[in-house]
Amino acid sequence: MERTFAIIKPDAVERNLIGKILDKTESAGFVVAGMKKIHLSVEEAEGFYYVHKDRPFFNDLCSYMSRGPIVVLVLRKNDAILAWRTLMGGTNPADAEAGTIRKEFGLSIGENSVHGSDSPESASFEIPYFFSQLELV
């Protein structure tokens, strides 16, 4: 089984959507291998999103991701990375496919409720950024 990394972002946590998103996740066959609720500092968000440091949205993204608690997850499933990205839906909720998390819960392209690794390489950076091996089952 493949592992992927996911975040339930501040906008979804603020609207008490953790349970609904987890229900969709588990109903889609994902196994939660690790989960915790945390509140990132701006510096921690900058470290996580360092690949975007030269993009115009970097500062807004880091401010948003540190404005309130998030839920970080490691999910397991066959082809987990592709399956999670499919379940999340497109970045812009207005254009996302019906039945996806972003279509159902996202507010805007910036507040789109969830994050997911886009490749095995990003998952291999993102998972240990938040979890030690002892925290994963």
| Phi, psi of 65, rounded to the nearest 5 degrees | -70, -15
Q: Would you give the DSSP letter of residue 91?
A: S
Cα within 13 Å of Cα(57), Cβ side: 9
Chain CA centroid to CA 32, Å: 13
Catalytic annotation, pick one of 62, 115, 116, 131: 115
Q: Report residue 16 as tokens.
A: 């008490």
Active-site annotation holds for 39 = no
Q: Report residue 135 as tokens.
A: 């925290």
Active site residues: 115
